[in-house]
């Protein structure tokens, strides 16, 4: 599997479609796999939704509930679910936008007979994200001109006939192709302000190397996205740097759920937890690739400007089992406590480090005699990092091993790390989601322990909470 697709909520179910090869564990025969959940953490696999057929692969896209039946494809007074996706013809490499519809809660799908609905005769035109724009009473499609480093916006009243509105780009990171865009509006925490966020995934050329995601902050009026002046940091020699979704190497093609209820009001998303640099070589069998945990997305005013923040979706707490709470003490005592309580395996961990003037401190996870994954704070460099250079199996691809840094946005204060450790991944939320680092890791089958480290054995650990996590499949 790779990109998440068609994330939509309808009648109590979160739908997750995704790029999927039904015939193998490397890329090919792209179709839409399908899973549903009532709580975002326990998932049920369903039959394939959209299958490669007639020489056309099903590339990435989105799904909506057509509440007003603007397509006329609904039945019995119920709105249809409509998927909007890229049709890819391997014979000539052409990419166009197509739709399909379902009248049974996404269990079966019919491809629209008059596909494609947009065809500009391009080999680099993909990944439509569609939403209803209420002020204009029309649909908006955000779609990538990948090789040109541009995003296009189209409008439609019926999801079939589309009108070009505007383009955005090139801007930000342009070292690789632009893919899998998203567009949504969010409030700025603690203010009356709202901003639109335009997400553009890029491959290669991300902050951690290979594939990753960037975002732009600005205004959208139903026709055009205009980036806020100065919303990105300046770089030497003029210009502006990119803003990155995740500073780890393994968070790509992030896309948000459509049709979350107004009473909920959250913007929820997840991403493909891998990287195209080595995604075909990951040493797992018979499966290959996974998604991140679901996250809540927000905007926060920081010293550097308005920035995107991500928190673990509260539904992840359903997987918590026993809680272990350290009562406080120095580093040596905290490590004794971790050993005494046999803290290891799949877990959620919150640790807070007091500000140190120099040195490196952090936590080693998935630790065994054969390796460890290190999550730390480098006070000299004012960064948080994930280091998987010694994380057991790193030799399957020369680009896998590495250290990945994120800037500390407030380097003079304590640092809170909220860490999810799974069988082969870590997801690190720094200072309430500002920033985030995601990395896969392939430890040995031996013990997977946890150990704190720091420049001083007597450094105080005031916050250390750990939960064992249940399997989401039980």
pLDDT category of residue 187 using cuts at 50, 70 and 90: very high
Per-residue confidence (pLDDT) for residue 390, from 0 to 100:
95
pTM exceeding 0.85 = yes
**Residue 184 belongs to what H/E stretch?**
strand 177-187
> 456 falls in which pLDDT band (50, 70, 90)?
confident
Of 87-96, 408-417, 459-468, the one with minimum mean pLDDT is: 408-417
252: three-class secondary structure by DSSP: strand
**Confidence label for 23 from pLDDT (cuts 50, 70 and 90):** very high
Average pLDDT, the chain: 96
> According to the model, what pLDDT value does residue 238 have?
73
> Can you tell me the distance from the alpha carbon of 88 to that of 85, in angstroms, rounded to the nearest whole number?
10
Give the pLDDT band (50/70/90) at residue 236.
confident
Q: Are strands 118-122 and 138-145 parallel, antiparallel or unpaired?
A: unpaired
pLDDT digits (tens, 9 = 90+) for 267-295: 999 999 999 999 999 999 999 999 999 99
Is 3 catalytic? The answer is yes
Q: How confident is the model at residue 474 (pLDDT cuts 50, 70, 90)?
A: confident
- pLDDT of 412 reads 75
Q: In this predicted structure, what is the pLDDT of residue 91?
A: 96
Query: For residues 181 and 291, is the Cβ–Cβ distance under 8 A?
Result: no
pLDDT confidence of residue 459? 84
Residues 165-193 have a mean pLDDT of 97
> Looking at residues 376-382, what average pLDDT do you find?
95
Please write down the long-range contacts of 283-286, taking CB distance under 8 Å and 24 or more positions apart: 283/393, 283/396, 283/442, 284/25, 284/424, 284/442, 285/25, 286/25
Span 180-192, mean pLDDT?
97
- 117 — alpha (psi -120 to 50), left (phi > 0) or beta? alpha
DSSP 8-class letter at 337: H
In tens, the pLDDT along 151-170 reads: 999 999 999 999 999 999 99
pLDDT average, residue stretch 133-143: 97
Report residue 457's pLDDT band, with 50, 70 and 90 as the boundaries: confident
- Read off the pLDDT of each residue in 291-311 and give the average, rounded to a whole number: 97
Q: How far is CA 470 from CA 295, 319, 347, 348, in A?
A: 18, 5, 8, 10
> Given 3, 127, 246, 250, which residue is catalytic?
3
Q: Which domains does the chain have, with CATH numbers?
A: 4-312 (2.115.10.20), 316-469 (2.60.120.560)
Cis peptide before 332 (omega within 30 of 0): no
| 309 pLDDT higher than 80 | yes
Q: What is the pLDDT of residues 342-365, one digit of tens each?
A: 998 899 999 999 888 899 999 999
What's the pLDDT score for residue 317?
98
**Least confidently predicted of 87-91, 244-248, 405-409:** 405-409
Which H or E run contains 338? Answer: helix 331-340
What is the secondary structure of 190-228 as a DSSP string?
Answer: TSS-EEEEEEEEEES--TTSSSEEEEEEEEE-SS-EEEP
pLDDT of 125 reads 98
Rounded distance, CA 332 to CA 74, Å?
64
SS3 of 340, please? helix
**DSSP label of 69:** -
pLDDT tens figures, 391-431: 999 999 999 999 999 999 877 789 999 999 999 999 999 99
For residue 263 the two structure tokens come to: 């009473």
């Amino acid at each position: 599997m790779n990109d998440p697709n068609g994330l939509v909520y309808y009648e109590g179910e979160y739908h997750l479609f995704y790029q999927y090869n039904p015939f193998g564990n490397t890329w090919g025969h792209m179709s839409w796999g399908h899973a549903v959940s009532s709580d975002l953490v326990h998932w049920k696999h369903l039959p394939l939704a959209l299958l490669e057929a007639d020489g056309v692969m099903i590339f990435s896209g989105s799904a909506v509930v057509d509440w007003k039946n603007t397509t006329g494809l609904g039945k019995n007074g119920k709105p249809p679910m409509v998927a909007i996706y890229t049709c890819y013809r391997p014979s000539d490499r052409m990419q166009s936008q197509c739709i399909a519809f379902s009248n049974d809660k996404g269990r079966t799908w019919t491809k629209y007979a008059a596909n494609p609905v947009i065809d500009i005769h391009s080999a680099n035109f993909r990944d439509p994200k569609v939403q209803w724009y209420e002020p204009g009473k029309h649909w908006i499609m955000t779609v990538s001109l990948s090789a040109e480093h541009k995003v296009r916006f189209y409008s439609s009243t019926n999801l079939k006939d589309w009108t070009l509105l505007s383009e955005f780009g090139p801007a930000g990171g342009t070292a690789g192709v632009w893919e899998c865009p998203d567009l949504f509006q969010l409030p700025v925490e603690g203010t009356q302000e709202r901003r639109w966020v335009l997400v553009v995934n890029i491959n290669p050329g991300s902050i951690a190397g290979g594939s990753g995601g960037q975002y732009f902050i600005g205004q959208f009026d139903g026709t055009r996205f205009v980036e806020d002046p100065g919303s990105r940091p300046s770089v030497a020699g003029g210009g502006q740097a990119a803003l990155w979704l995740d500073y780890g190497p393994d968070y790509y093609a992030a896309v948000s759920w459509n049709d979350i209820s107004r009473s909920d009001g959250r913007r929820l998303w997840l991403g493909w937890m891998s990287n195209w640099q080595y995604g075909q070589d990951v040493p797992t069998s018979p499966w290959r690739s996974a998604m991140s945990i679901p996250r809540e997305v927000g905007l926060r005013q920081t010293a550097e400007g308005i920035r995107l923040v991500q928190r673990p979706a509260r539904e992840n707490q359903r997987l918590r089992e026993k809680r272990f709470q350290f009562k406080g003490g120095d580093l040596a005592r905290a490590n004794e406590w971790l050993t005494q309580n046999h803290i290891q395996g799949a877990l959620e961990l919150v640790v807070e480090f007091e500000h140190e003037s120099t040195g490196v401190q952090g936590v080693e996870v998935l630790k065994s005699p054969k390796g460890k994954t290190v999550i730390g704070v480098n006070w000299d460099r004012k960064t948080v990092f994930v280091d998987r250079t010694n994380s057991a199996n790193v030799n399957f691809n020369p680009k896998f091993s590495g250290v990945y840094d994120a800037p500390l946005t407030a380097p003079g204060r304590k640092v809170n790390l909220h860490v999810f450790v799974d069988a082969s991944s870590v997801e690190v939320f720094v200072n309430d989601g500002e920033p985030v680092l995601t990395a896969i890791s392939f430890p040995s089958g031996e013990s997977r322990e946890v150990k704190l480290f720091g420049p001083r054995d007597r450094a105080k650990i005031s916050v250390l909470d750990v939960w064992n996590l249940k399997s989401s499949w039980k």
